[in-house]
Structure formats: C-alpha cells, structure tokens
Amino acid sequence: MPVTDLLERNHKLYGDEVALVELNPLMPETKRTTWKEYDLMQPTENRAYRREITWAVFDEKANRVANMLLDRGIKKGDRVAILMFNCLEWLPIYFGILKTGAIAVPFNFRFDTDEIMYCANLAEIHVLIFGPEFIGRIESCADKLSKGRLLIYVGDGCPSFAESYHALVADCSSNAPLIRLEEEDDAAIYFSSGTTGFPKAILHNHQSLSQAAAMEQKHHLTGREDNFLCIPPLYHTGAKFHWMGSLCAGSKAVLLKGTTPEIILDAISKEKCTIVWLLVPWAQDILDALDRGDIKLEDYELDQWRMMHIGAQPVPPSMIKHWKEYFPHHLYDTNYGLSESTGPGCVHLGVENIHKVGAIGVPGYGWKAKIVDENGVEVPQGEVGELIVKGPGVMTCYYNDPEATAAVLKEGWLYTGDMARLDEDGFIFLVDRKKDVIVSGGENIYPVQIEDFLRQYDKIKDVAVIGLPDKRLGEITGAIISIKDGMECTREEIDEFCTGLPRYKRPKEVIFAEVPRNATGKIEKPALRKKYGADRLVEQQNKG
C-alpha cells in the first residue's frame, strides 16, 4: 500500500494521541566549541522550547500542504525538494508532497550552493521548500534556481525571492486530496555518491517506503507504547526510515536538536523514550562522559529505555561490550543499508544476535543477500566477494541515468560495492569498500571533492584524501600532500586554505609525503590506507 495510507490510518485510529515532538534544548555556549563536527545538528536557537502535534494534526497539515501544491499546479510525478533542518513541519511537508502523487526530494542540509543547483537540475525539481538557515545559500543562486521553479520559505520573515509557506497553506483545505496512489508509483528521490564527487539521484516508489516501515517495526518490535528518539537529520534515509517504524506502529517519536550526552540522556529521561538510534560518535561520547564521571545514570529516569541501535558505519565490538556494562538490559541491533535499498535494514544483526557483534548480520525482513565474485557467481562460505541484496526496497533506478542504473541493478539484485564474507553461521561481515567514500560519524565524505579543492593551492603538487580510523567517528579525513619542489608549506597554511571548505569536509589530519601512483596514473589508496591507517590505529591504542 502507499505509505500515506499509514498516516491516514493513524489519524482515524489514534487522532488525539501525540505523534511528533520537536525538542530544542538550551545549549550552553561553552559546549558549542566542543562539538564542531555536529554544529549543524545542535539547537538552532538560543532558547529552549518544546512543540508537539497529534496524528490528526499531522495528517491535516500534510493535507494542507498537498492541496497548496495542487493549487499551484503540481501534479503526479512532479518533483518537490525539501531543504530544512529537523522540525515539526518537516514530515507533514514530506507526506503532503506524497499525497499529491508528486515525488519528495530531500536535500542534504550540508549542500553548498553548487550542490543545491546541481541536485535541483539533476532531479528536475519544480518546487524547493526551504527553511531560514538556508536563506543565504538560496539567495546566492535564486536567479538561476527560480527559473521555472517555485521557491517556498518556511519560517518568519519571508525573503523577497520566495513565497511564504504559512501564507500559502493557511486557507487550504485539511481534507485529503482525491489523488489515487499505487505501490508502483514513484515516491521519493534521495541522493548518493561515490568517490567521483556530485551525487546520483536515487528513485524509490511507494512500495519501497511502505516496506521500510514494516521492516523497521518488525526488526525492533516497535509497539504502540514505544517512543522513538530521532536525532539524525530527516533528509537521511537512516533517520526517516527508522522513524517509519513509529509510523507503522502508530507510536510517538521525538525529534531532538542536540547531540551532547547530557542533552540525549535528558531527552530520554523526560520524554520517556524507549528506542534510541545513535551514531557511533554519540554512543562513544556517552560512554566517555560516564567513564569520566561527567554524567551519572542515577540522575536520569532511564528504566523505560529498552533498546539502542546503531547504523551508518562500522560498529566496534569493544564499544558495545562497554555499552552493555552500563546498560545491561538494553536490546541492541546494528543496521546495514544504502540509500539505494531504502536506507537501513536490508541486512541487520537482529536483537537476538548480540553474540555476533562485529557482523552486519543477516538479510533483513523481506530481503535476500549473496556474496559474489566479479562475474556475479556466489563465492564459497568464508571467501571475500561483493555483497549484493534483493528485496522490495531496492530502488527503481538512478533518475535519468540508465548507464549507472545498469551498473548496479542486475536481474533485480543491487550490487552494493561493499566487499564482505559469510561466516559458518550465515552472518555477513564487511571487509572493505570498493568505493573510497569516507564514512565519518555516519556522514559520507567524498575524497575527490576535497582533492580537487586542495589542488588549487599553488604549493601543492599532488594530494590524496583517505579515511583514517578514529575512535569516535569511525573514520576521519586524512590528506596526504606532496609539496612542489623548492617550496615549504605548513599545516597552518593548509588549515587556513581549507576554511573555503565546509567544516565537515576539512582534513582532520595532514601528512606531508609523496603520493604514490601506479603505472596507469591512479593513486594507490589501498597502500596509503594500510600505511597511515595502521600508524594511526597503533597511536590510538597506545593512548588507550
């Protein structure tokens, strides 16, 4: 069924119950400088507030959005983009788009102006709905972006180049539009990318979204009394599709703006959250704060917290062992997935399999998985090959890119680009990635973009950017830089030049050394990762 049917069902059955809470805690200024990699995920206003909506209001708001878009000429199959931080309006806008039969296109809130324009053109969007944090970025490209497109602003003080969301929806009907939707209808475009730079547009239909909801509810046994704490950004397939378990169950969820240990535990305590999805850095920070005595579990009401699960990056088994020392009663799961497979869960560990921590797990609910060689032939148990998956959440295609689609979709199987092996019990372990994408704190970072930027510096002869192991983030960006003959360069110069990059893309380690290339001119990144990754791993182990 179309995923919008679940929202309408919840309206009918649980209309007066709270569906969503937006929680903006007060963030002390002294904390902000400690959390630079997550500045964009911290409270956006220097005041604490809490807002909530019921299932009835949620559905009615979505209907108003749908009717507003229909009034402006949006029709089935059109593309409507969302560029907003997490807030109470985000999901009603998303579902309002779906109710028109149009395709929802969430934009990464880290996109710079060039990436916004690129993705707007790639997905051929008709409308962009954006929040106050993005006025500057949108204004700088508004002349180009607004050609043939409607720009809608969500917030106070609407800029002159956009129309006000609140004014547009104020007089729209709260009744559901009479648009017939089928499972096969296109529903959403998400963006992904390998190491070549700009993203691909991944098209999913309603069946993909509905199966994600059913799968999440099944995997984590989400019930009517559960309360899911959602911290990551909703443009991310992981955040949204984990929340879909709450949609399927008709249970409450909290959208939290803030990632310090104190903020997370305080929200779990006060909102009585039962299921929490964390990224590795946040879980590690909670453990570190507990170890230091900065926070004490007895200061919070946490008895109702029954489950912690992690995804988006490899999970150190030692961290989960440490977690269970503080939270012995917690159920635990880890989830593997790609945007091409509707986010997390096509492979998952399973709450009953904590003894297998280190594996990504087994095929998820409704999914199949195989490990194959370069010819697509399944490899023997224990041997390394490429992980491929098949199920109801596989993407329809890369939008307007049949060549790229054909490269990864073969006879219904999605070729993930991840190298893996199968153990004797049927559990899948990741070994390495074909792609060089760096996964830092759950976010994908694309080395080629950083390399291209650094090569503009006149002292740099050659550069390679790789992922280096990190206790908190899983990986950090490391730049191996070869300087032109006769020149000298310092780390401070590189850091100053890199202020032209978004903070999350700036190299965290800079190594001045020769960049090895093979006979065909390609950088030998495996050799670099082996050399410098091993050195950093030893260094971190020595630090304890």
pLDDT higher than 50, residue 384: yes
Candidate ranges 91-105, 275-289, 325-339; pick with highest mean pLDDT: 91-105
pLDDT of amino acid 38: 46
pLDDT of amino acid 434: 66
105 beta partners: 81
pLDDT higher than 50, residue 392: yes
Sequence-distant (6+) residues with CB within 8 A of 486 are none
Q: What is the mean pLDDT of residues 442-465?
A: 84
Candidate ranges 119-123, 338-342, 343-347, 357-361; pick with highest mean pLDDT: 119-123
Taking residue 199's Cβ as centre, other Cβ atoms within 10 Å add up to: 23
DSSP string, 415-457: EEEEEEEE-TTS-EEEEEESS--EEETTEEE-HHHHHHHHTTS
Nearest CA to 149 out of 165, 163, 132 is that of 163
pLDDT of amino acid 314: 65
pLDDT of amino acid 41: 56
Sequence-distant (6+) residues with CB within 8 A of 285 are 259, 260, 261, 472
Structural domain boundaries in the chain: 4-13+15-326, 358-433, 439-543
pLDDT higher than 60, residue 286: yes
pLDDT of amino acid 520: 43
The model's confidence at residue 327, banded by pLDDT at 50, 70 and 90, is very high
Is 233 within 8 Å of 42 (Cβ atoms)? no
pLDDT higher than 60, residue 518: no
Domain 439-543 is found in CATH 3.20.20.70: no
DSSP string, 74-95: --TT-EEEEE--S-TTHHHHHH
pLDDT tens digits, 65-105: 999 999 999 999 999 999 999 999 999 999 999 999 999 99
pTM for the full model? 0.83
The single-letter code of the amino acid at 156 is: D
From the options 3.40.50.12780, 3.30.70.260, 3.40.50.880, 2.30.40.10, give the CATH code of 4-13+15-326. Answer: 3.40.50.12780
**Token pair for 526:** 């495996």
The single-letter code of the amino acid at 91 is: L
CA–chain centroid gap for 431, Å, is 22
The model's confidence at residue 196, banded by pLDDT at 50, 70 and 90, is very low
Mean pLDDT of the chain: 89
Q: Where are the beta strands (DSSP E) in 17-98?
A: 18-24, 49-54, 79-83
The single-letter code of the amino acid at 80 is: V
CA 498, CA 79: separation in Å to the nearest integer? Answer: 34
Nearest CA to 4 out of 193, 159, 205 is that of 205
529 beta partners: none
The model's confidence at residue 344, banded by pLDDT at 50, 70 and 90, is confident
pLDDT of amino acid 519: 42
Nearest CA to 379 out of 431, 312, 314, 340 is that of 431
| Percent helix / strand / coil, the chain, rounded to 5 | 35, 25, 40
User: Which range is least confidently modeled, 142-146, 166-170, 325-329, 514-518?
Assistant: 514-518
Annotate 188-206 with three-state secondary structure: EEEEECCCCCCCEEEEEEH
Nearest CA to 258 out of 542, 46, 19 is that of 46
Q: What is the mean pLDDT of residues 2-15?
A: 97
pLDDT tens digits, 46-60: 678 999 999 999 999
pLDDT of amino acid 48: 87
pLDDT higher than 60, residue 151: yes
pLDDT higher than 80, residue 24: yes
pLDDT of amino acid 28: 62
User: What's the Cα-to-Cα distance from 337 to each of 57, 75, 151, 333, 465, rounded to whole Å?
Assistant: 32, 31, 32, 13, 24
CA 188, CA 518: separation in Å to the nearest integer? Answer: 41
pLDDT higher than 70, residue 30: no
Nearest CA to 477 out of 458, 449, 517 is that of 449
Q: What is the dihedral sign for C-alpha 344, 347, 349, 350?
A: positive
CA 241, CA 132: separation in Å to the nearest integer? Answer: 25
pLDDT higher than 60, residue 39: no
User: Which range is least confidently modeled, 194-208, 422-436, 477-491?
Assistant: 194-208
Element (H, E) at 210: helix 206-219
Q: Which residue has the higher pLDDT, 222 or 504?
A: 222
pLDDT of amino acid 303: 97
User: What's the Cα-to-Cα distance from 289 to each of 292, 295, 331, rounded to whole Å?
Assistant: 5, 6, 21
pLDDT of amino acid 441: 83
Q: Which residue has the higher pLDDT, 30 or 224?
A: 224
pLDDT higher than 50, residue 300: yes
pLDDT of amino acid 419: 82
Q: What is the mean pLDDT of residues 331-357?
A: 91
Q: What are phi and psi of 361, to 5 degrees?
A: 120, -140
421 beta partners: 429
From the options 3.30.70.20, 2.30.38.10, 3.40.50.620, 3.60.20.30, give the CATH code of 358-433. Answer: 2.30.38.10
Q: Which residue has the higher pLDDT, 315 or 272?
A: 272
pLDDT tens digits, 226-264: 999 999 889 988 889 999 999 999 999 999 998 889 999
Q: What is the dihedral of CA 108, 113, 114, 116, to 10 degrees?
A: 40
pLDDT higher than 60, residue 131: yes
